[in-house]
Structure 1
Amino acid sequence: MGLKCIHHIAIICADYQRSKWFYTDVLGLDVVREVYRSERDSYKLDLALGGQYVVELFSFPNPPARVSQPEACGLRHLAFEVENIEEEVERLSNCGVVVEKIRTDEYTGKRFVFFSDPDGLPIELYEF
């Protein structure tokens, strides 16, 4: 097939302004492009991390809720690599984000933690 890398991840949100704030101000992703598609009453926000395009954030009128708990079939979570997990957990907590307890991967010995975006999408921070 010749796959080279993951190009981007598309996320549909219920409250566009809240999710835009979360992904840009809280997580620190950079805005590449923002467009409003009037024919679909939908925003599309292209976001980058470290100069690499990684997330498309979409809004649509009244999207159905995502099932996250109990664990549902499909995309399980979105994971980002960080250097210092304690600093990031503190930063998230200061932004009002509820963060689970830091755990250690039993196979790699690396630490990780979970929290959710405004729509309940599980997000993981994995310490490098």
Structure 2
Amino acid sequence: MSTTGLPTQIWLTLLLSGGLAGLAGVCKVLGPNSQLRPSISPGYGYTAIIAAFIGRLNPLGIILSSLLMAVLYVGGELVQIKLGLPFALAGMFQVILLFFLLAADILIYNRLRVR
């Protein structure tokens, strides 16, 4: 047992998964040109936060919500190309989805009662 109460296997798993995630990030950043660029992140981290919240931190739910977010992202690119609308429209759909989910949580967990 370690000092925090977590077994050694859990710590090793956390370190290994973090290292693999870092390696995947390096591969993404280096990309096909094999060089670093000044603008490396198109905002995938914010999309991942929304996907994790929509998936309710459940592994299967996160996979399904990630697919939904990917469809919104690719659909936004397609709308930009075909219709000439701004790409920020896809981000607006993601934010609207998150706000409606937050509003539903607030209304469910904090019921207003009329006396």
Q: Which has the greater radius of gyration?
A: 2
TM-score by length of 1: 0.23
TM-score by length of 2: 0.25
Report 1 or 2 for greater relative contact order, CA contacts < 8 Å, sequence distance ≥ 6. Answer: 1
Per residue, is there more strand in 1 or in 2? Answer: 1
Per residue, is there more helix in 1 or in 2? Answer: 2
